[in-house]
Structure 1
Amino acid sequence: MSTNTNIRARLLISCLDRPGVVSAVSTFLHQYKANIVQSDQYSTDPSGGMFFMRIEFDLFEDGYDFEEVKKAFTSVASSFEMDWKMDLASRRKRMAIFVSKEDHCLLELLWKWRAGELAVDIPLVISNHPNLKEEVESYGIPFYHIPVTKETKANAESEAITKLHEHDVDFIVLARYMQILSSDFVGTFPKRIINIHHSFLPAFIGANPYAKAFERGVKLIGATAHYVTDDLDEGPIIEQDILRVNHRYTTEQLRVAGRNVERIALSRAVTWHSNDQIIVHGNKTVVF
C-alpha cells in the first residue's frame, strides 16, 4: 500500500494535560487508515499542566480524504477541549511582506523563496516607501507603495488590509517595516504577523541603538523574531539569535552584524511558521 505525498497532513494540538490524549489521537488516525510519520509532544506539567502536540501523517490513496478526516476530528477535539489546527503539508501559505527602506531581511526571504528553500507563495510586498519597488518587481512580485503619515495612518492601514484580503494572505512578515501597527490592524490578523528587531531592547531604546551599544562596548549583537500583539515588541517570541562582537567593531560593523543576525532569526521564524511548527500559548510559543 503506497502513500501519496500530496495527502500528507499536519495536526497541531494544545489542551489541558490528562490521560488518554495521545491514545485518542493515535486511535482516531488509525481508524482513518492514516500513517503517523512524525510525532512530537510537550507537557508543561504532567499533573494538570498544558499539553502540546504536533503530528505529521499520511492518508492512503484508497482510504479517506483529508476534508472528511478533518471534519471527523472535531469530535475528538471537543472531548478534550482542544485548540487545534489541521492542514495539508502541500498547501503553500500565502505570505505578504511589509518593508520600509532597509532591504536585508526582505532580500533574505526573497532569495530563500526563489531558491525553493521557503515553501510559501508571496502575492505582494507593501512598503511605506517606493525605494525597493524595482528590486521586488524583479522577482515578479507585485509591489504596493502605501505612504504613511500621522494624518493618513488609518486610511493607509485600511488600504493595506484591503490589499491583503484581495490577495487571500495567510500571514504577514514585517521585514524591518518601521511603522507601529494599530490595534485594529493587529486584531485583523491575530497570531499571523511576524516581526523582527534587534535585541538591545530595553537597554538601548530610541534612535541609533548601535551607536549607544558601541559606546557601552557590547560583546553580543542579537535579534528577536516574534508575533505582533498590541504590546509593542512584547509578543510571543519565536526565535532569537546572537553574534559575538568585540572592542574592534566600529558602529557600522556592529550595524552590519545586527543585519546579519536579523536575517537569520527572521528566516527561521518564517520557515517554522510556514511549516506549522509553532503553537502559541499565552505570550509564549512552543516550537517543534
Structure 2
Amino acid sequence: MSGHQSHILRTASPDAVGILASVMAFLADRGLSVVESHDFADSVSGRFFVWARFETSDVFDAEDFGRAFGEVALRRDLAWNLRPAGYRPKVLVLASKMDHCLNDLLFRHRSDRLGADIVGIASNHEDARWHADRHEIRFDHIPVSKETKPQAEDQLRKLIDETSAEFVVLARYMQVLSNDLCRELEGRCINIHHSALPSFKGARPYHQAHARGVKLIGATAHYVTADLDEGPIIAQEAVSVDHRATPDRLVEMGRDIEARVLARAVKAHAEGRVFLSGARTVVFD
C-alpha cells in the first residue's frame, strides 16, 4: 500500500494466559494491520515469545507507540523492542584463509539478501583483503599468535567500536575467542562449524569422517559462548552421503552447507527472528 511502512515488534516474557491477545489487541486498537506474526510458548524456559510485522501509515509516531505500549509491557512483564522492518543492522565479519563462507555472505550482501550491512572484514591473514577491496569494504589485518592474542582482541574491540558493528560473524575464523570477549559479545556473535564435531576435531575433519564411513555430513551455526562450539544453535543442515563420496567431495559438499547455514543464521538474527531462551533458541523463519 502506497505511503505505508512496516515495523517489527518483538516481545519476550514469562508465559501467561492472554499475552498474545494483549499484544494483538493493542495493535488492532491503534488501527495497525498485522501482516505476519509468530508466537511460541517454551515449556522448557517458561517464556513466551512474539514476533509481529505490522503496517503503519507514513505519519506513524514511534515515540507515541512506545509510550502507549510501555504500559502494556509493564502490566504483562514484557521485554520488547520495535524497529522498522527494513532496518539493516551493521555486521563485522571475521575470516581466516578459507573464504567460502565470506564469499557467500558478500554475494548476499551485494544483492541485498543478507538482511544486514557488512561494515568491515577482519582477518588474521591477508588472503581475504581482495574480497574487501572488490566490494569496497573496510579490511583490517589483525595477526594473532599465542603471545599477542590479548592485543589482537583489543584491536577487535576497537574495530567493533569504530565500525559501530551491532553483531559479529565468524565466517570460518580459525581463532578461539577468549572467555572475556565471548562474554562481551554474548547474543551477538555467530559462528559456523561442520557438524562432524565433536567426533572429528582438528585438521581434515572431512577426511576423518570419510575414514569412518559417515552417512551424514552437515553444519551448525550458533551463538558464541565461552563453551567452545556449544552455544545456542540458530540453524543446522545435514545431507546424506554414501560410500561413493570421496574425501574431496565431502569437503566440497561440506563447504556449500556451511555457507548456506551461516547465511541463514545471519539473516534470521539480522531480521530479529531469533530469541534466546536459556541454552536454546526460538527461531521464527
Cα distance in structure 2, aligned partners of 1:92 and 1:275 = 8
> Partner residue of 1:49?
46
* 1:221 paired residue number: 217
Alignment partner, residue 84 of structure 1? 80
**1:73 deviation in Å?**
2.2
CA shift in 2, pair 1:216/1:277, >3 Å = same
Q: How many residues align?
A: 284
Per the normalisation by structure 1, the TM-score is 0.93
Q: Which moved more, 1:270-279 or 1:98-107?
A: 270-279
C-alpha displacement of 1:166? 1.1
Distance 2:67 2:185 in 1: 24
Report 1:1-80 matches (<5 A): 3-5=3-5, 8-45=6-43, 49-62=46-59, 64-80=60-76
Pairwise mapping of residues 106-255 of structure 1 onto structure 2 (< 5 A)? 106-255=102-251
The offset of 1:274, in angstroms, is 1.2
**Which stretch has the larger CA shift, 161-170 or 85-94?**
85-94
Find the partner of 2:100 among 97, 104, 110.
104
In structure 1, what is the Cα distance between the partners aligned to 2:102 and 2:67?
38
Deviation at 1:119, TM superposition (A): 2.8
| Distance in 1 separating the partners of 2:66 and 2:184 | 25
Structure 1 vs Structure 2 CA RMSD = 1.8
The range that moved more, 177-186 or 137-146, is: 177-186
Does the Cα contact within 8 Å between 1:32 and 1:69 map onto a contact in 2?
no
Report the Cα offset of residue 45 of structure 1.
4.2
Distance 1:34 1:232 in 2: 44
> 5+ unaligned residues in a row in structure 1: which ranges?
none
The answer to whether the Cα contact below 8 Å between 2:189 and 2:223 also exists between their aligned partners in 1 is yes
**Structure 1 stretch displaced more, 28-37 or 256-265:** 28-37
Residue identity opposite 1:206 in structure 2: G
- Whichever residue aligns with residue 4 of structure 1, its letter is H
CA contact (8 A) 1:3 1:58 kept: no
Q: What SS does structure 2 have at the residue aligned with 1:233?
A: coil
Deviation at 1:193, TM superposition (A): 0.4
Contact kept? 2:119, 2:138, Cα under 8 Å: yes
Distance 2:165 2:81 in 1: 17
Q: For residue 72 of structure 1, report the CA deviation from its aligned partner.
A: 3.2
1:207 Cα deviation after fit: 2.3
- On the 8 A contact 1:147/1:156 being kept in 2, the answer is yes
> Relative to 1, partners in 2 of residues 1:184 and 1:45: Cα closer, same or farther, differing over 3 Å?
closer
CA shift for structure 1 position 2:
5.7
- What is the CA-CA distance between 1:85 and the residue it aligns to? 2.5
Could you tell me how far apart the structure 2 residues matched to 1:244 and 1:196 are?
20
Q: SS of the counterpart of 2:135? A: coil
Q: Deviations over 1:226-260 (max 9, x none)?
A: 01111110111011001221112221211111101
CA 207–90 in structure 1, closer or farther in 2 if over 3 Å, else same = same
Unaligned runs of 5+ in 2: none
Q: Which amino acid aligns with 1:154?
A: P
